[in-house]
Chain A
Amino acid sequence: MQPAFTAPSATGGTAARNMDTDQIRLPRKSLGERLAHGLTVENVLYTAIFVVACLTRFWDLGSRALHHDESLHSYFSWVFAEGNGYIHDPLMHGPFLFHATALMYLLFGSTDAVSRIFPAALGVLTVMLPWFLRSDRLLGRWGALTASALLLISPSILYYSRFIRHDIYLIAGTLVLFIAIVRYLEKPEARWAITGALAIGYMLTTEEVSFIVLFVFATFLGIAIALKIAPSLLGVAAGAGIAFLATSRVLHALGAPPLPGIPWDRPTGRQIEQFAVKLFEHPVVIAALGIGLLAIVISLWLLDRKRPPETGWIDGVFGDAPRGSTASALHELLGERRGLWIGIAGEVAIFVVLYTTLFTNMAGLASGTFGALGYWLGQQGVQRGQEPWFYYLILLPQYEYVAALIFPIAVALTLWRIVRAWRSGVSPDRRTYVRGFLIYWSFGMLAVLSWAGEKMPWIVVHIALPMTLLAAATIGDGIERLEQHWCRWSPGVRRDLVIFGGAVIALLGTAFLSLAWASDGPYTTASGVYERTLRAGVTDHWWTFVYLPWLVLLALLALAIVRLGAKRALTTILIAGTLAFSLAQVHAEWRLTYREGDVPKDMLIYVQTSPDVPRVTDQLTQLSQQVNGGMGLSIWYDDVTQWPFNWYLKDFPNRRYIGNQLPSDLDAQVIVVADSTLTSDMEDQLKQKYTYQEYPMRWWYPEENTYRRFAYAPNITDVNRQNYQDSSKPPYSLLDVARSVGSSIWSMREPSEQGKIFRMVAYREVPSGLGSVNFRVYVRNDLYPYFNQIRYDR
Chain B
Amino acid sequence: MEHAESFDGHMNEREFASVLDRPVSLASLSWFSAGWVAIAVVAFLMRVTNFSALPLSFSEASLASNALSIVQGGTIPSAAGQAPLPTVLTALALFLFGSSDGIVRIVPLLAGLGSIALIWWLGRWIGRGPALATAALVAISPTFVQASRNASAGGLLIFSSLLTLAAGLTWLERDSRGAAAVFGIGAALIVMSDPIGWIALPIVVIALLILSGKRTAPSRSLVPFALGALVTVVIVSTSLFVHPSGFSDFFRQSLRALWDQHLSNAGEEWHLAFFQLTIDETLALGLAILAVIFAWRARADDRPRDLLVPGLLAWTVLGLICGSILGGKNVPLYTLTVLPLTLLAGVGLDTLLQHIRWSDVITPRGLLFIIAVPITFFAALSTYGLLSSDIGTDAAAWIFTFILVAIVIFAPLLALSIWIGRSMPVQAWALVALFVALLLAGTGLRAAALLQSQTISRPGEPLTAGDSTPAVGTTVQQIRAVSRDMTTFSQDARDPTGGHGLSVAVDSTIAQPFAWYFRDFPVLQIVKPNEQYPASNEPQVVIMRPDHPTILASTDGRLQRTMTLSTVRAGTLSNPDWGSLLSSVIHPDRWERFPHFLVDRSVTRPSAPTNFVLSLRQDVVTQLYGTTPPAGN
Interface of A toward B, CB cutoff 8 Å = 35-37, 39-45, 136-137, 141-142, 145, 417, 420-421, 424, 426-432, 477, 483-484, 487, 506, 509-510, 513-520, 523, 529-532, 535, 549, 583, 586-587, 590-591, 594-595, 599, 601, 612, 693-696, 699, 702, 763, 765-770, 774, 784-785, 788, 791-794
Contacts and interface: CB of A to CB of B under 8 A. Distances in A.
Given A137-B5, A788-B626, A531 B97 contact: no
B22 interface: yes
A529 B16 contact: no
Closest 9 CB pairs of A and B: A769-B491, A516-B73, A520-B73, A42-B20, A429-B9, A517-B73, A513-B242, A39-B24, A530-B493
Interface of B: 2-9, 14, 16, 18-27, 70-75, 95-98, 100, 235, 239-242, 474, 477-478, 481-482, 485, 488-489, 491-498, 522, 624-626
Contact of A520 (B2, B9, B72, B491): B72
Contacts of A586: 96-97
8 contacts: A39-B25, A40-B22, A421-B8, A427-B9, A429-B6, A513-B239, A694-B489, A794-B625
Contacts of A513: 70, 73, 239-240, 242
A766 B496 contact: yes
Contacts, number: 162
B95 A587 contact: yes
A431 B7 contact: yes
A420 B8 contact: yes
B496 A763 contact: no
Given A43-B24, A523-B494, 12 more contacts: A37-B23, A39-B23, A42-B21, A136-B4, A141-B18, A421-B9, A429-B7, A509-B240, A517-B73, A595-B98, A791-B481, A794-B478
Contacts of B496: 601, 702, 766, 768-770
Contacts of B97: 586, 590
B474 A516 contact: no
A493 to B, nearest CB: 16
B22 A41 contact: yes
A517 B242 contact: yes
A91 to B, nearest CB: 30
Given A43-B24, A591-B98, A793-B478, A693 B485 contact: yes
A171 B498 CA distance: 36
A297 to B, nearest CB: 38
A765 B493 contact: yes
A510 B241 contact: yes
A770 B73 contact: no
B72 A426 contact: no
A282 to B, nearest CB: 48
Contacts of B18: 141, 483
Nearest to A38: B23
A793 B235 CA distance: 46
B240 A530 contact: no
B593 to A, nearest CB: 38
B492 A594 contact: no
Contacts of A523: 493-494, 522
B631 to A, nearest CB: 14
Nearest to B26: A36
A586 B9 CA distance: 37
Nearest to B493: A530
Nearest to A140: B4
Contacts of B625: 788, 794
Nearest to B29: A36
B494 A530 contact: yes
Contact of B73 (A141, A483, A518, A792): A518
Contacts of B4: 136
Nearest to A486: B16
A699 B98 CA distance: 22
B7 A599 contact: no
A791 B8 contact: no
A60 to B, nearest CB: 12
B32 to A, nearest CB: 17
A238 to B, nearest CB: 29
Nearest to B495: A769
Contacts of B522: 523
B247 to A, nearest CB: 15
Contacts of A590: 96-98
A792 B438 CA distance: 45
A785 B478 CA distance: 15
A763 B4 CA distance: 45
Contacts of B626: 784-785, 788
Contacts of B482: 792
A769 B488 contact: no
A763 B72 contact: yes
B92 to A, nearest CB: 8
B154 to A, nearest CB: 26
Contact of B497 (A531, A535, A595, A601): A601
Nearest to B18: A483
A595 B94 CA distance: 12
Contacts of A770: 491, 496-498
Contacts of A40: 20-24
Nearest to A134: B20
B241 A41 contact: no
B7 A417 contact: yes
A785 B626 CA distance: 7
Nearest to A47: B24
A487 B242 contact: no
A791 B72 contact: no
A424 B9 CA distance: 11
A559 B569 CA distance: 58
A427 B8 CA distance: 10
Contacts of B5: 136-137, 429-431
B488 to A, nearest CB: 6
Contacts of B16: 483-484, 487
A767 B493 contact: yes
Contact of A583 (B21, B27, B73, B96): B96
Contact of B488 (A421, A599, A694, A785): A694
B9 A428 contact: yes
A696 B21 contact: no
Given A429-B8, A430-B5, A768-B493, A142 B20 contact: yes
Nearest to B243: A517
A520 B69 CA distance: 10
A41 B20 contact: yes
B545 to A, nearest CB: 24
Given A587-B96, A763-B72, A768-B493, A145 B23 contact: no
B98 A594 contact: yes
Contacts of B7: 417, 429, 431-432, 477
A529 B493 CA distance: 8
A485 to B, nearest CB: 9
A766 B235 contact: no
A137 B8 CA distance: 12
A15 B167 CA distance: 52
Nearest to A485: B16
A38 to B, nearest CB: 8
B533 to A, nearest CB: 22
A37 B27 contact: yes
Contacts of B73: 513, 515-520, 535
Contact of A41 (B9, B19, B70, B95): B19
Q: Which of B20, B488, B624 has the most CB of A within 10 A?
A: B20
Contacts of A520: 72-75
Contacts of A506: 235, 240
A32 to B, nearest CB: 8
Contact of A516 (B6, B26, B72, B241): B72
A145 B20 contact: yes
Contacts of B497: 599, 601, 699, 769-770
A466 to B, nearest CB: 20
Nearest to B486: A693
A34 to B, nearest CB: 10
Contact of A788 (B2, B74, B474, B624): B624
Nearest to B498: A769
